[in-house]
Amino acid sequence: YVASFSNNNVIPNHYFDAIHHEIKYLAIEDSFLELSGFRKISALSDTSNTLIQFFRKFDDYYPKLNLRASEVELTKFIIQKIDEVVDKYGEIKDNASPDLVEIRRNINLVRGKINQSFGAALSSYNSMGYLDDIRETIVDNRRVLAVLAMYRRKVKGTILGSSKTGSIAYIEPEATLRYSRELSNLEYEEREEITRILKQLTNAIRPYIQLLKDYQDFLSDIDVVAAKAKYAYKINGLLPKITTEKKLYFREAFHPILYLNNKQKNAPTYPQTIELTQENRIIVISGPNAGGKSITLKTIGLLQLMLQSGILIPVHERSETFLFDRIFIDIGDNQSIENHLSTYSYRLKNMN
């Protein structure tokens, strides 16, 4: 993965939104997902398919990643089913069903009649001098006339509110009321039809719950690998030779945190070189305070732990090590005057 940062075969984006809640709801019979859930599922499926095809194509470059990708099924069915219903803006398409096409066509017709009748009322009452300077406004998502309070009884319609001072009454003209009620009924029918469509789409996706889990696990694994690779790239990490022989040889090893901190400050970082073998398993390090004894121990321990966690380490390419069965770590200073324990004696006691 680190090589992809510098070659021409850049690994595609693997970002995804988690779908834990969507998977949970899919497992509930007769439940249905909202539009936002389908958008996330479609994006997750598309990203997974793109990566699976990419690793399959560049198996020579990424054999291990392709091996992981081959464990996941490649299918366009989920994306196709969602695309039939949801547009690129995340809204239900007009042609998602024949009924929805008819309902939305009628909604547009009624809205046109509302605007036409409202415009006629606006011109009429404005010419009579009944309206305020603002002429119209919106109340509860409905266009209303801004009628001067003294003329509110002369304007036929329904009062939906008034200004804070009470000088203006907000009236929906009588001519538009009938169309507004018709519009409300159509909007209700639209919501009901959309719910039916979403239920139908949910039922089509429901059999693929396990595949969606596999997609999410696959992308999570790629995300972990990508995070390790990006960190390795920052610290110039590489994979040393791994041997079965009990030998540790870290040549020009850097403590990664110290290296990055000094790099930000444009300060030099001096590497460590250390070797342990079956015959030479113990090294005694002595020196003055702030001489680098602790950082040497931390560098060796941290790099070995990073390596066994699958993270490349900042050492020379001729370095080598083996895999430890156990790594003992003692962190903290619990010296105790009462129990006559110094820092050193505490650590000795703690390692027994």
Domain check: are 85 and 211 in the same one?
Answer: yes
Domain check: are 33 and 77 in the same one?
Answer: yes
Buried residues in 286-315 as b, exposed as e (16+ CB within 10 A):
eeeeeeeeebbeebbebbbebbeeebbbbb
Structural domains of the chain, count: 3
Residues 322 and 246: beta-carbon distance below 8 Å: yes
- The residues facing 86 across adjacent strands are 92
Per residue, what are the HEC states of 236-281? CCECCEECCCCCEEEEEECCHHHHHHHHHCCCCCCCEEEEECCCCC
Domain check: are 129 and 254 in the same one?
Answer: no
pTM: 0.76
Domain check: are 225 and 261 in the same one?
Answer: no
**What would the pLDDT profile of 273-285 be if each residue is shown by its tens digit?**
999 998 888 888 8
Domain check: are 167 and 216 in the same one?
Answer: no
Domain check: are 146 and 266 in the same one?
Answer: no
Domain check: are 139 and 242 in the same one?
Answer: no
Domain check: are 157 and 228 in the same one?
Answer: no
Residues 167 and 184: beta-carbon distance below 8 Å: no
Domain check: are 291 and 334 in the same one?
Answer: yes
**What would the pLDDT profile of 40-63 be if each residue is shown by its tens digit?**
999 999 999 999 999 999 998 899
Domain check: are 246 and 130 in the same one?
Answer: no
Mean pLDDT over 101-129 rounds to 91
Domain check: are 159 and 246 in the same one?
Answer: no
Strands 272-276, 157-162: pairing kind: unpaired
What percent of the chain stands above pLDDT 90? 58
**Last residue within a domain, chosen from 143, 175, 194:** 194
**Last residue within a domain, chosen from 170, 194, 218:** 194
The counts of H helices and E strands in the chain are 10, 8
Domain check: are 228 and 241 in the same one?
Answer: no
Q: Which band of pLDDT confidence, cut at 50, 70 and 90, is reported for residue 292?
A: confident
**Distance between CA 106 and CA 190 in Å, rounded?**
10
**What would the pLDDT profile of 207-246 be if each residue is shown by its tens digit?**
999 999 999 999 999 999 999 999 999 999 999 999 999 9
Q: What is the CATH number of the domain that holds 313?
A: 3.40.50.300
How many other CB atoms are there within 10 angstroms of residue 269's CB atom? 14
Residues 315 and 250: beta-carbon distance below 8 Å: yes
Structural domain span for residue 57:
2-90+198-232
Does position 341 have pLDDT exceeding 60, yes or no? no
**Last residue within a domain, chosen from 164, 194, 224:** 194
Q: For position 130, what pLDDT does the model report?
A: 87
